Amino acid sequence: MKKVYVNEDWCLACHLCEYYCAAANSGAENMIKAFANGNKPIPRIRVEEGSGINFAVQCRHCDVPLCVKSCITGALSVKDGVISCDESRCVGCYTCVLACPYGCIVTSESSKVISKCDLCMKNNNGDPACVKGCPNKAIVLEER
């Protein structure tokens, strides 16, 4: 299965993946609208920056998904290898936050439920916005 991989050698910490992700999952038509009027849609990918090292982290869509196994409501599920969250069933208990070894379950004060990367299955048929938006191919969608 194709997954998103990051190559820290090429990550520039431009954070554009976060913005492309947030906009793509905001439901807004384009990035300007997504961020209009002080809106700050939440990205499901995050860039970690260090001294000379940067990389983006998002859901690894684990073969043994601790988040799904831990989910108390059944909101998290795996379909064709892609882990996604049915936000209508999430109660924001954050057990998945507790379980995810990569810190890839996203919480926000504005939203009572979690959100997570679904490889843009819902918004763009599995063509992830972060991959398309990365200016340096530090994020790729590949079979490995």
Comparison of 114 and 118: residue with beta carbon closer to another protein: 114
Minimum distance from residue 136 beta carbon to another protein (Å): 5
Residues that bind another protein (CB under 8 A): 3, 5-16, 19-20, 31-32, 34-35, 48-50, 52-53, 55, 57, 60, 66-67, 69-70, 72-74, 88-89, 91-103, 105, 107, 133, 135-138, 144
Please state the closest distance from residue 132 (CB atom) to another protein, in A.
11
Long-range interactions of 92-98: CB distance < 8 A, separation 24+: 95/70, 95/71, 96/67, 96/70, 96/71, 98/70
- 28: Cα separation from own chain's centroid: 17
Shortest distance (Å) from residue 32 CB to another protein: 5
- Nearer to another protein among residue 72 and residue 127 (C-beta): 72
Of 59, 34, 42, whose CA–CA distance to 117 is shortest? 59
Angstrom distance (rounded) from CA 51 to CA 76: 35
